[in-house]
Chains A and B, each alone.
Chain A
Amino acid sequence: GENVEQHPSTLSVQEGDSAVIKCTYSDSASNYFPWYKQELGKGPQLIIDIRSNVGEKKDQRIAVTLNKTAKHFSLHITETQPEDSAVYFCAANRRFGAGTRLTVKP
């Protein structure tokens, strides 16, 4: 079955810096790659997604890139703010990574 690995498990950056989270997947049939932000006590919130017919997608400070050949995809957050602090999850179709706890220091 599908296996999704996510790195790093924790990430601490200074406000204004960029943050990058990377995921790899094993099933070449995977064709949908969403990213979720989960704050304490809440359900995952979709922040951006990309499908297999697109290599890159951007929405304001957030961008996602997909390399189908290498089976990896990444989340890029620029100009980070303290309110970006949360746990971020990648997914390949319905299989989720283990999450990255992002802390943005003021």
Chain B
Amino acid sequence: ETGVTQSPTHLIKTRGQQVTLRCSSQSGHNTVSWYQQALGQGPQFIFQYYREEENGRGNFPPRFSGLQFPNYSSELNVNALELDDSALYLCASSIPGAGASGGAGSPDTQYFGPGTRLTVL
């Protein structure tokens, strides 16, 4: 088990509502990434936060937003929920520079939390 925790474990929302998901990173990790995993598919990168700022974003609309706090915990906010937003939302933490052995810009080794299962009705 990694030291990454997520809350809540699961929740149900209706279309049009807003949701906030939370993540606490592993001790010593100051970078948090969020992924969306639809049923039967691989995780898709939403965005990454480093030192409280967004540091990379995948192909997701602006209604997906996030925050990172001084203690490195993070939130994912999704506005105007759509049915297709139903998925497992995963948080992963890492340490910048852990990938330095792979060369400049080498991504960091990430450790995933258990995820939050979101159902939109």
Contacts and interface: CB of A to CB of B under 8 A. Distances in A.
A49 to B, nearest CB: 6
Contacts of B45: 94-95
Contacts of B4: 43
Contacts of B114: 41-43
Interface string A28-52: 0001101010000111111001011
Contacts of B42: 4, 6, 89, 91, 96-99
A42 B42 CA distance: 13
A1 B59 CA distance: 10
B62 interface: no
B103 A53 contact: yes
B27 interface: no
Interface size class of A (residues with CB under 8 A): 20 to 34
Interface string B103-114: 101110111111
A93 interface: yes
A25 to B, nearest CB: 13
Contacts of B99: 32, 51
B109 A49 contact: yes
Given A31-B103, A96-B44, A45 B109 contact: no
A44 B107 contact: no
Interface residues of B, number: 27
Nearest to B4: A43
Contacts of A41: 114
Contacts of B113: 43
Contact of B43 (A32, A45, A96): A96
Contacts of A97: 42
A42 B37 CA distance: 12
B66 to A, nearest CB: 15
Given A6-B42, A52-B106, A94-B56, 14 more contacts: A34-B110, A43-B90, A43-B112, A44-B112, A45-B2, A46-B109, A49-B109, A51-B101, A51-B103, A52-B102, A53-B103, A94-B33, A96-B42, A99-B41
25 contacts: A1-B59, A32-B102, A32-B106, A34-B110, A36-B112, A43-B113, A44-B90, A45-B2, A45-B112, A46-B109, A46-B110, A49-B109, A51-B101, A51-B102, A51-B103, A52-B102, A52-B106, A53-B101, A89-B43, A94-B33, A94-B56, A94-B107, A95-B45, A96-B42, A98-B42
